[in-house]
Amino acid sequence: IMKKREYRIFPICLLLALAVCFLAACSSGKGGTQESPGASKSTSKSTSESANGSGNGVDDSGESTEAAEKKLRIGVAIYRYDDNFMKLYREELRQYLEEAYNAEVVVRNARGEQEEQISQVNEFIEAGYDGIIVNLVDTDRAGVIADSCHEAGIPLVFINREPKADEQARWKTEKMVVSCIGTDSKQAGTYQGGIILETEKRGDFNGDGVVSYVMIMGEKDNEDSNYRTEYSIKALEDGGMKTEKLFSGHADWNKEEGRKLAEKALALYGRRIEVIFCNNDAMANGAWEAIDAAGRKTGKDIYLVGVDALEETVQYIKEGKVTGTVLNDHTGQSHTAADVLMKMIHGDEAETRYLVDYVKISTISTLQK
């Protein structure tokens, strides 16, 4: 009896299964055609970093097609991909835009070429993107990009490398939907000086009342470089120390260049050097290699500070190779950039400038908090 029943049930199951397959094929067909325009948009940009697997979020409701169409498309232009700090920044920015706003994000690398970046932004504009985020190559060219976005009616946010104050003022007077997210580099410099003042010898190993230092700077004419340099020394002097600059140079935010400059300084000034200030951590990591090669010992006969709190530098601090750093909050900055851009896309007013705080990191206990 059982067998007979099974035979009767089987054709019904088969029919049901075929019907289910047929329906599934219909719905996946819909998803496929919906996905392709989005996918071709991102893959057509050969240098784009788009890893956008979205646009295929089709469910059975039938409303997903509409939702996919409405996905906001955001273009992000980065000054160069081989910058350690900006790598953290852009990765966080993409993830946050995708996860918090379900946006479709295309990120482009200008490889340090301002003209290339301008054409990348123009491509975003021509493609009708909903919002654009730019990490300028040359801050003096902010106006060109701001004007193009303004004419096209596309909200724009500058990140990290801040346009000059008069350009920022223009956005306000000309009612442009442009904003920038920056940091107070004076604060970073002040924290660096503060870290040296907190050390046992207040930066003065030989006890002559003078902190003899080397300054390894980022790029020339860069606000972060200028203020971090000026305010780190100002903090030492405000803290009652005299200072003597033995050597300084620009290492363009780059580890290897930082190592080379520190090596040169150590060869020229040897034991006279008590502190090496670096405008960022990549250069501090390089400087540590030079310190080590010269047989010097961080914390024992020399101090070394950076800015950013890169993972490697934080590890170096734990190992005593670097004295301290200042957290350049790429998470806070990227989230603010995305939030402000979204606000503007939705027609809400935004400030011209937002600042995200730095955090001083000098001891293992701070690191463990």
Residues forming contacts to ligand BGC in the complex (CB under 6 A) are: 83, 85-86, 160-161, 224, 253, 280, 282, 307-308, 328
Residue 70 CB partners (closer than 8 Å, separation 6+): none
Nearer to ligand BGC, 158 or 253 (CB): 253
Nearer to ligand BGC, 155 or 306 (CB): 306
Nearer to ligand BGC, 202 or 360 (CB): 360
Nearer to ligand BGC, 49 or 83 (CB): 83
> What DSSP letter does each residue of 296-336 carry, written as one string?
--BTTTBEEE-SB--HHHHHHHHTTSS-BEEEE-HHHHHHH
Nearer to ligand BGC, 85 or 213 (CB): 85
What span, in angstroms and rounded, lies between the C-alpha atoms of 136 and 113? 10
Nearer to ligand BGC, 85 or 191 (CB): 85
Expressed in angstroms, the distance from the first to the final Cα of the chain is 72
What span, in angstroms and rounded, lies between the C-alpha atoms of 67 and 84? 35
Nearest distance from C-beta of residue 300 to ligand BGC, angstroms: 27
Nearest distance from C-beta of residue 267 to ligand BGC, angstroms: 25
Nearest distance from C-beta of residue 70 to ligand BGC, angstroms: 34
Nearest distance from C-beta of residue 213 to ligand BGC, angstroms: 19
Residue 367 CB partners (closer than 8 Å, separation 6+): 314, 317, 318, 361
Nearest to 123 by CA among 149, 104, 146: 149
Please give the radius of gyration of the chain, using alpha carbons only, rounded to the nearest integer.
Answer: 27
Sign of CA dihedral 322, 186, 158, 101: positive
Nearest distance from C-beta of residue 295 to ligand BGC, angstroms: 28
- Work out whether strand 178-182 and strand 156-159 pair parallel, antiparallel, or are unpaired: parallel
**Within 10 Å of residue 211's Cβ, how many Cβ atoms?**
26
Nearest distance from C-beta of residue 250 to ligand BGC, angstroms: 12
Nearest distance from C-beta of residue 163 to ligand BGC, angstroms: 13
Q: Give, as one character, the DSSP assignment of residue 238.
A: H
Nearer to ligand BGC, 52 or 280 (CB): 280
